[in-house]
Structure 1
Amino acid sequence: MFKRLSIVCLISTQLPFIAMAQDTWRGLVVTEESRCSPYDKKKQYPYSQSVEDDIVEDMDGLVYGPYTGRYFESDTSTDIEHIVAASEGHDSGLCDASAETRKEFASDLLNLTLAAPEINRCGPGGKCGYDAAEWLPNKNKCWFANRIVEIKTKYALSVDRAEANALDAVLSNCQSFAMIFYTENNDLPRQDALALYDDNENGQISCTEARNHNIAPVTRAHVAYQYMRDADGDGVVCE
């Protein structure tokens, strides 16, 4: 009798640990979204309009919408776009964050790009604060999906299961996570960079090959950039 009671007690003490185990995906906690405090984008996630100039500078002076591969004459035609929307970030963990962390998230260039108003806002085909399970861009899916993982990792945000599945479906088929700058007709990359610069045909472009072809330093706007390793992530390789 004593032995039976001991076994029951042992099992019962282990149950809380089993219940507390968390499902993770790529280091992110997988759980349902939760709005643990009221949401007010303007008050809780403020940012300066000047970040638009920083976004353009980060894309080497191009006013470019990576979701569509579209170029604009000026940033007056674009919206500042949060890759992980403020509402999504709020419901994925920032609802419990400090005001300073929320402000940092809203102004972080890692989480910012440009988009035409009809893409950024609510409406047919619009992103409208959706997560990756609900909306994916027509172009630059690999860059977009990888950037979401980077942002959520940086701010310790969660993903729900549908979002994790959608992101995994994209990322599992990616060879590069660099932003692709498309031709003006939005159909194809500007040139076949590998055919031009990949001398040893290994699917990548080295700094030696870039210098041999007199294209170094290579900036993010150059067609070769997506096939090169930008170790420090500053948008320039082979400085």
Structure 2
Amino acid sequence: MTFLLAVLQLISNSPAVEARQGVAVDATHFYAIDSRAIGKYDKRTGSSVANWQAPKDSGVIHLDGGIVVDGKLYCAHSNFPALPMRSSVEIWETDTLKHVGTHDFGVRWGSLTWLDRRDGFWWATFANYDQIINGKRYGGKENTLLVKLDDNWQELKTWAYPASLLARFGEMSNSGGSWGPDGRLYLTGHDAPEVYAVKLPENGGVLDFLETLPAPIAGQGIAWDRSTPGILYGIVREKRQVTASRFSP
């Protein structure tokens, strides 16, 4: 399946009050993600099925992108906009939306914004920003890294982002990412209605930026529907909507 120079065509949008940070999807439901809340929705009808709200003492501060793997929802989490940056992966059962686990990365790399699973490995981006917080840049976006991790969340390899792609993010950084069925990695910024196709370089440590595609989203987290290849889920946070789009050559 090849999507180079393809077009994203909107096929559905669904209201979801939690659609502020990202979205995850499985064969029957999508999961709208807010900083401290998750909503489970029926893919066919768009109706709300369940909701999780972070307890006051949970330690959950800023959830971002998510992915469903083997009946569990894995979400990127950080303490944004606090310093030093600290990140973790938070885990829920999709059937019940019961929080069942966490992996704490501690103070390392930056703010975790998304993660995905491919070829038996975890892939995650730790964002840094040019946004000014407390009088200085929040990490500097040139320090944003894609990290390949093993099943124990140990680092295997890292890649930096090319300057041409970082420029698309403004003062913010890479918010969402998901490996497409064409073997390319698709990324988003904070609020632009577009996705960016990249690939791993044959040599070197900087991602290859392939193309920019207009998309019916507003940045933030995205997720390929692995049960229906060619369908990409995203959000429009100002409208609190989850969108589904089809890639067409």
TM-score (norm: length of structure 2): 0.28
Which one has the largest radius of gyration?
Answer: 1
Instruction: Specify which structure has the higher proportion of helix.
Output: 1
Instruction: Specify which structure has the higher proportion of strand.
Output: 2
TM-score (norm: length of structure 1): 0.29
